[in-house]
Amino acid sequence: MIHSITGRVIEANGQTVVVRPGGGPSGEGAFPVELEIMIPAYWVEQAVESVGRVVRLHTKLHLESQNQGASFTPRLIGFPTADDRAFFDLFISVKGLGSRRALRAMTIEPAMIAAAISARDARALQKLPEIGKRLAETVIAALHGKLGAFAAELPEGVGTIEPRPAGGAADEAVAALIALGQTRAEAERAVSRALRGVDAAGLSADEIVTRAFAGG
């Protein structure tokens, strides 16, 4: 079992990265192999930003069925933290959520999804790709009460899933907040709150940042 991989990101294409194991600052210690690793949707942007850098991914080996189970193809799935991998293991235990579907659905960090499940917020879960009304209810029924370890680490006041801010001034505001020291997830949450109930098209990036610091 491959528990984790540390290496240099060579390529990032959609929800797949290619990593060369080893690879210190000068390339020392690299193995003469490159591994293709599937990643969750919420880590795609960071993966692109990590091309050329050394990262550590906590991995899970998945056997993908071909031709209705007649054959299997091994796939590596990687996560930025061991907790995210542990959440994924629980998430895919839900009937109807295969590995690829779950990876596409995870457009936000697992702690946010855990918060919605713990709050029995089916409408929030339906904002995720691949999750319809029936599957959202199935996820809550299967996982409610099992995610305390994840929900306990949530920032105060986080209990619902908010859509990612996108486009123009919103993207610039997220970049500005990251430059000021926030993580991407923190910046996106702050911008989402700042834009709640307002016409985003009428705000500049500076105005969005000001609203974000003022708490929306």
CA 78/CA 47 separation, integer angstroms: 11
Same structural domain for residues 99 and 72?
no
CATH value at residue 136: 1.10.150.20
Q: Is 13 exposed, middle or buried (0-12, 13-18, 19+ CB in 10 A)?
A: exposed
Same structural domain for residues 119 and 187?
no
Region of 121 (left: φ > 0; alpha: ψ -120 to 50; beta: rest) is beta
Number of domain units in the chain? 3
The whole-number pLDDT of residue 162 equals 57
Same structural domain for residues 15 and 75?
yes
Adjacent-strand bridge partners of 12: 17
Q: What integer best gives the mean pLDDT of the chain?
A: 81
The whole-number pLDDT of residue 45 equals 85
CATH value at residue 6: 2.40.50.140
State the residue range of the domain holding 70. 1-80
Same structural domain for residues 97 and 147?
yes
Whether 65 shows a pLDDT value over 60: the answer reads yes
Contact of 177 with 209, CB cutoff 8 Å: yes
Same structural domain for residues 140 and 203?
no
Segment 37-51 mean pLDDT: 90
Q: Is 196 exposed, middle or buried (0-12, 13-18, 19+ CB in 10 A)?
A: exposed
Same structural domain for residues 48 and 29?
yes
Residue given tokens 């790709």 in the structure block:
129
The whole-number pLDDT of residue 136 equals 94
The whole-number pLDDT of residue 171 equals 78
The whole-number pLDDT of residue 158 equals 43
Q: 134 or 174, which is more confident? A: 134
Question: Which residue, of 28, 55, 80, is where some domain finishes?
Answer: 80
